[in-house]
Structures are given as C-alpha cells and as structure tokens.
C-alpha cells in the first residue's frame, strides 16, 4: 500500500487523485491529510519528506518519498508496463512532457502565485512574504496561458495531441485553482471551455468533484 500525503480539495493534489482513478489503482493507495492552513507542510518533519514543502507527496513501499505531481504521475503510470498518461512512444512522451510543463508554467503555477501573493492565500502564518504586484502580474500570465490553450485545443482534441494525458490533468487543475481564486476564464475561449466540459464528464474528474 502506498501513502499519498495531500490536502483534500487542493488543485495540485487533484492532479494525483484524478490520475489514480484514471489508472484504476485506488485500492493501492491511501490518503493522509496534511493541513496546509496550519502550515503543517512547512514544519521540519514534513520538509524531511519534501524539501520544497508542498503537497502532494507519495510514499512508496520501500520508504522513498516522491514529490512533484509530474514525477508522481510518471511513477504511478509505470507501475503497469502499458503507461496510459505519460505516453508510449518517444514522440508522445516528448509532446506530453512539453505540454504538461507548459500547462504548469503558463497556467497552473501563475494562478498559484496569484493566490499566494495577491490574495490572503493560506493566511498570515503561512504567507510570510507577499508581493501583490507580482501576484497580479502572474494572474495576467495565467489568462494569457488560457488563451494559448484555447488556441491549442482549436487544433486537437487533447492538450498534447489525439489522446488524453497527464497534460490534460494539469490544465484541469488550473481550472480547479481558477475557481478557488475566482479567476474567470473568459467565455469566448470556446475551444478551451468545450474541452473542459469533456474533461468534467470523465469518471476520474467526476469522482474528484463528487468527493466534495
Ligand atoms: N510543483 C509542485 C508539484 O507539482 O507538486 C507544486 C505543488 C504545490 O504547490 N502544491 C500546493 C502546496 O503545497 C498544494 S495546493 O495548494 O494545490 O493544495 N501549496 C502550499 C504552499 O505553501 O505553497
């Protein structure tokens, strides 16, 4: 049994919760809550598990801790010899990693920076340094990212090509974070919204939403 330290409704944790259902490995993992609001993820005992002090963290059976959603998804996807989320061919793997990283740096991560810098974030005990101007700047970057992904999705059904992948999950997580910070994704980005409706219909995303 593997253990995933996460925070129930968190956008980054959602990436792994969705991946777990996509891969059908719910029976192989258990979830342990780390309370971000009390700053439990910045305490020395947690930093021993993940130097960066972020969630989620996967503990595998030999006691190794894996942090970073991309790394965790890679690991879980390769428990089976036929990976489903990270590509099979060299081309697929290259495309998925490029688009996944782009989804992080152009869309999801800037929303996170906006949350931590230009809103109360996790509260004064956790947000020891805030720079609202930087946060607003990152909000605008995220909106440019949304426009970029709308353009991408006008040419293909999924973020990295013809099949669902880890990169789609990362853009779903950006929508999750956008809802938390009340960042409206403009309705005229119709390709992005149409794609998002398809993502919301996937059992893995529905399971995450139903978890409440
Ligand atoms: N690059 C990391 C990854 O991909 O795993 C980012 C992880 C991350 O930022 N996780 C959030 C976190 O720990 C969890 S959540 O906000 O999505 O619930 N944030 C707390 C903090 O203080 O940065």
Report which DSSP code applies to 106: I
Provide the pLDDT for residue 10. 95
Helix, strand or coil for residue 67?
strand
Going from the Cα of 77 to the center of ligand 1, the distance in angstroms, rounded, reads 21
Helix, strand or coil for residue 2?
strand
Question: How far is 159 from 11, CA to CA, in rounded Å?
Answer: 18
112 C-beta closer than 6 A to ligand 1: yes
Provide the pLDDT for residue 211. 86
68 C-beta closer than 6 A to ligand 1: yes
Whose C-alpha lies nearest to ligand 1, atom 22?
54
* Residues 94-107 pLDDT 10s: 999 999 999 999 99
Indicate whether 212 pLDDT > 80: no
Provide the pLDDT for residue 8. 85
Domain boundaries, the chain: 2-77, 90-202
CB 77 within 8 A of CB 83: yes
Picking from 48, 42, 72, the residue whose alpha carbon sits closest to that of residue 60 is 72
**pTM score of the predicted model:** 0.97
CB 19 within 8 A of CB 77: yes
Q: What residue spans of 78-201 are helical by DSSP H?
A: 90-103, 109-118, 132-153, 166-180, 190-200
Domain topology for 2-77: Glutaredoxin (3.40.30)
Report which DSSP code applies to 88: S
196 C-beta closer than 6 A to ligand 1: no
Question: How far is 202 from 132, CA to CA, in rounded Å?
Answer: 36
Mean pLDDT of the 20-36 span: 96
CB 135 within 8 A of CB 129: no
Index of the ligand 1 atom closest to the CA of residue 68: 5
Domain topology for 90-202: Glutathione S-transferase Yfyf (Class Pi); Chain A, domain 2 (1.20.1050)
Whose C-alpha lies nearest to ligand 1, atom 23?
54
Indicate whether 169 pLDDT > 80: yes
Provide the pLDDT for residue 203. 97
170 C-beta closer than 6 A to ligand 1: no
166 C-beta closer than 6 A to ligand 1: no
Helix, strand or coil for residue 6?
strand
69 C-beta closer than 6 A to ligand 1: yes
- Report residue 135's pLDDT band, with 50, 70 and 90 as the boundaries: very high
Going from the Cα of 65 to the center of ligand 1, the distance in angstroms, rounded, reads 16
Question: How far is 181 from 121, CA to CA, in rounded Å?
Answer: 9
Question: How far is 161 from 95, CA to CA, in rounded Å?
Answer: 8
121 phi and psi angles, rounded to 5 deg: 55, -130
């Amino acid at each position: 049994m593997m253990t995933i330290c996460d925070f129930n409704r968190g956008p980054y944790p959602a990436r792994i919760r969705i991946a777990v259902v996509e891969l059908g490995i719910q029976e192989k993992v258990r979830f342990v809550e780390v309370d971000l609001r009390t700053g439990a993820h910045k305490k020395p005992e947690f930093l021993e598990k993940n130097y960066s002090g972020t969630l989620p963290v996967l503990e595998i059976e030999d006691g190794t801790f894996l942090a970073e959603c991309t790394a965790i998804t890679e690991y879980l996807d390769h428990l089976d010899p036929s990976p489903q989320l990270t590509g099979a061919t060299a081309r697929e793997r290259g495309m998925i990693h490029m688009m996944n990283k782009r989804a992080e740096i152009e869309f999801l991560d800037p929303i996170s920076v906006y949350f931590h810098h230009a809103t109360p974030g996790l509260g004064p005990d956790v947000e020891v340094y805030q720079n609202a101007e930087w946060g607003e700047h990152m909000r605008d970057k995220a909106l440019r990212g949304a426009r970029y992904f709308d353009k991408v999705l006008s040419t293909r059904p999924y973020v990295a090509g013809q099949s669902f992948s880890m990169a789609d999950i990362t853009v779903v997580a950006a929508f999750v974070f956008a809802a938390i910070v009340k960042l409206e994704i403009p309705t005229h980005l119709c390709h992005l919204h149409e794609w998002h409706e398809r993502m919301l219909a996937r059992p893995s995303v529905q399971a995450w939403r139903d978890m409440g």
